[in-house]
Structure 1
């Protein structure tokens, strides 16, 4: 146990031992509800510039520190006490930590969505398929696909006398937030308007 402590508190591992203590304290505060784990804007921007973005900076840096700490311990034990080799272990440990963090951030990215929350207004301008036998000023439903490929059945209405049957293509041109429905026109009418 004494050899482990000596190695952890010796150069270069001591650099990462201190940083690892900071990381552990940070995550304890996050778990206790005292800090926000989403990271800081400038730190996320800095990691984006070096190719480690897409996941909160705090997660990426925690991975870098943990891997670098372990690599520096192993390197110190294997290569011994020589100033040049210790400096090499320090550099390789940081590089290895960044490499592992880069590989892990990709699968972790799905747990930290960065896209803005979807809105019903995102459907405006999209084509839909009528799913009811008719669409009137007070009745109708259609299926519309979102940008991510998911589909939704939405309430639709029309102001004209256009004929809509099940399976008819239409274009959503507005959203009525009070009534929570979409205004539609026939897709071929929208195509004719574009051709003018």
Structure 2
């Protein structure tokens, strides 16, 4: 029992206790409607580094706050198991660097099940009475019809055909059957900007591309 108490109150698991407390306070305030569930979401992915990172990991169609909360809750038991191992071993000065490694490992191991849980609940968020159009950013849509004279067209979510959105682009018009990714919501028009799916690069693809450029240039 003493080992479990020391593990729960020691590093690195104490870090997760703080995160869990913040998650509990956040959802309590959201339940009381003191803050909005979508308070971490923005109208565009361009300057929203948090949302862009989460989408690159596979979290799309749900609020960023929900994705983060799911990731933290899922990572907590993994972090406790890793912390228990570290607490049991006589590591000495290695305890601190291995503690940070355990934090990273807990999040890495929890990413896949967290993404699966968010995908399973995405349809509920799509049809929620409190749904925000920002939650759809990063989702792939299928164009239903070619753009009209004003550059507008209708599209449906690839993962949920019941959700219909309006696209209004500044560049070339949309083509029926084309797959696009929602990257910006224009609130005053209630339309989305979208780019062709084949041109959309997530954060990991961008990093790999930047890493390979110097090799090609040599």
Which bin holds the TM-score, normalised by the shorter protein? 0.5 to 0.7
Classify 1:75/1:56 alpha carbon distance in 2 versus 1 (closer, same or farther; 3 Å): same
User: In structure 2, how many angstroms separate the alpha carbons of the residues matched to 1:77 and 1:58?
Assistant: 28
User: In structure 2, how many angstroms separate the alpha carbons of the residues matched to 1:124 and 1:110?
Assistant: 23
TM-score, normalised relative to structure 1: 0.53
Segments ≥4 residues shifted beyond 4 Å:
none
Q: 1:30 offset after TM fit, Å?
A: 1.0
User: In structure 1, how many angstroms separate the alpha carbons of the residues matched to 2:16 and 2:63?
Assistant: 20
User: In structure 1, how many angstroms separate the alpha carbons of the residues matched to 2:80 and 2:162?
Assistant: 47
C-alpha contact 2:59 2:119 (8 A) present in aligned 1: no
Q: 1:44 offset after TM fit, Å?
A: 2.7
Classify 1:34/1:71 alpha carbon distance in 2 versus 1 (closer, same or farther; 3 Å): same
Which residue is equivalent to 2:7?
7
Classify 1:11/1:36 alpha carbon distance in 2 versus 1 (closer, same or farther; 3 Å): same
User: In structure 2, how many angstroms separate the alpha carbons of the residues matched to 1:124 and 1:68?
Assistant: 43
1:1-196 alignment to 2 at 5 Å? 3-40=3-40, 41=42, 42=48, 43-79=50-86, 80-81=88-89, 82=91, 83=95, 85-113=98-126, 114=135, 148=161
Higher relative contact order (CA 8 A, sep 6+): 2
User: 1:112 is paired with a residue of what secondary structure?
Assistant: helix
Q: 1:149 offset after TM fit, Å?
A: 7.0
User: In structure 2, how many angstroms separate the alpha carbons of the residues matched to 1:90 and 1:115?
Assistant: 30
Query: How many residues align structurally?
Result: 124
TM-score, normalised relative to structure 2: 0.48
User: 2:106 is paired with a residue of what secondary structure?
Assistant: helix
